Amino acid sequence: MLKTEEIVQIMSKQGLRITDQRRTLAKLFAESAGYLSPKDVYEYMCQHYSGLSFDTVYRNLRVMQELGALEQIMFEEGVKFKARCSEDHHHHHLICLTCEKTYPITFCPMKLTDVPDQFQVVKHKFEVFGYCKDCLATEAEGLSVPSSTAVEISK
Amino acid sequence: MLKTEEIVQIMSKQGLRITDQRRTLAKLFAESAGYLSPKDVYEYMCQHYSGLSFDTVYRNLRVMQELGALEQIMFEEGVKFKARCSEDHHHHHLICLTCEKTYPITFCPMKLTDVPDQFQVVKHKFEVFGYCKDCLATEAEGLSVPSSTAVEISK
DNA sequence: CTACCTGCAAACTTTTTGCAGTCAA
DNA sequence: TTGACTGCAAAAAGTTTGCAGGTAG
């Protein structure tokens, strides 16, 4: 996953101004293991910026995604974002259903897939969902609090 | 893909009343090769029922999905629906980006995937996107009209 | 200094809910 | 006949846009 400074660099190099808010956004995503919904982001950012408005969050999420700093994924519950993977080689993900943290899978099934009759492949998606070791352990302990996707970040 | 009567049966057996509108819905999905958004469905149904309201479409889509007659998938552009696959064995899909028609892939990569360290797999998704033979042919002919997802259905 | 960024307000899209009349079984 | 289904209206939720003042570079 990208580090705070890498995300800031991406924005800076593309001509974006690095405001306090955008730096905090970069830090939030750099230190979040899982996916964040616009609402998650808004609620987190509100703790640091009192007069924050939802539209600015949307604008920044969109810009950061268009610049390639963030990845956008559709879940059943709606859109979510996380920092782009820093690994440059093609890979897939295991995704924990509890904490939404992702783990890389190097294996790509595409090479082994028999594509029928003149179908021209453009892209593919291979995602594995389940429960990660940590969340299973937490559950086993009988703790009712799942590890949250939100993170504590010192501003 | 399920046939009209199969969809109607599913609804009927679960205690739903088979209204004219629901039968038409069943027929629409049975004869549609691709995915349909709520809007697509609404616009199609409007041609047959003048006073149709959007909320009824939503209600019926939700009910049919909960009964297992329809599959619901999130695309970048939003939710879409199509009739459940009638094949009973596990499979995946090639999805055409133009007409959104799907083609089955029997190969499942899950068996070959090395899952790390105590990750408990619950489900997986493997989808291949591209252009199908028909749409490629249409494009090659220089025709600007992509084969629509909507279908002509005699009421 | 200047163009970009932000908050505010409002519009817009998508989806859900309550209610009363209508209709399938 | 009766409970489920539908249309209408309105609300709720999610997202986008225009504008005027503020700020990074």
Strand order in B120-131's β-sheet? A102-105, A92-96, A120-131, B120-131, B92-96, B102-105
Interface residue A104 vs chain B (CB under 8 A): no
The predicted model scores a pTM of 0.84
Rounded Cα gap, residues B140 and B146, in angstroms: 11
User: Each residue of B89-119: pLDDT tens digit?
Assistant: 899 999 998 888 999 999 999 999 999 878 9
Report the nucleotide nearest the CA of residue B59, measured to C1'.
C16
Tokens in use for B104?
């089955």
> Is B150's pLDDT higher than 60?
no
Interface residue B113 vs chain A (CB under 8 A): yes
Please check whether residue A93 is in contact with residue A127, taking contact to mean a CB–CB distance below 8 angstroms.
Answer: yes
Among A18-32, A110-124, B137-151, which stretch is predicted with the lowest mean pLDDT? B137-151
Rounded Cα gap, residues B150 and B152, in angstroms: 7
Please check whether residue B94 is in contact with residue A119, taking contact to mean a CB–CB distance below 8 angstroms.
Answer: yes
Domains in chain A, please, with CATH?
A: 4-83 (1.10.10.10), 92-140 (no CATH)
| Contact check, Cβ <8 Å, A119/B113 | no
Report the nucleotide nearest the CA of residue A16, measured to C1'.
C4
Chain A residues touching residue B35 (CB < 8 angstroms): none
pLDDT of residue A79: 95
Optimal mutation site among A124, A133, A134, A138, interface B, most CBs of chain B within 10 A: A124
Shortest alpha-carbon distance between residue A37 and chain B (Å): 15
User: Each residue of B32-78: pLDDT tens digit?
Assistant: 989 999 999 999 999 999 899 999 999 999 999 999 999 999 998 99
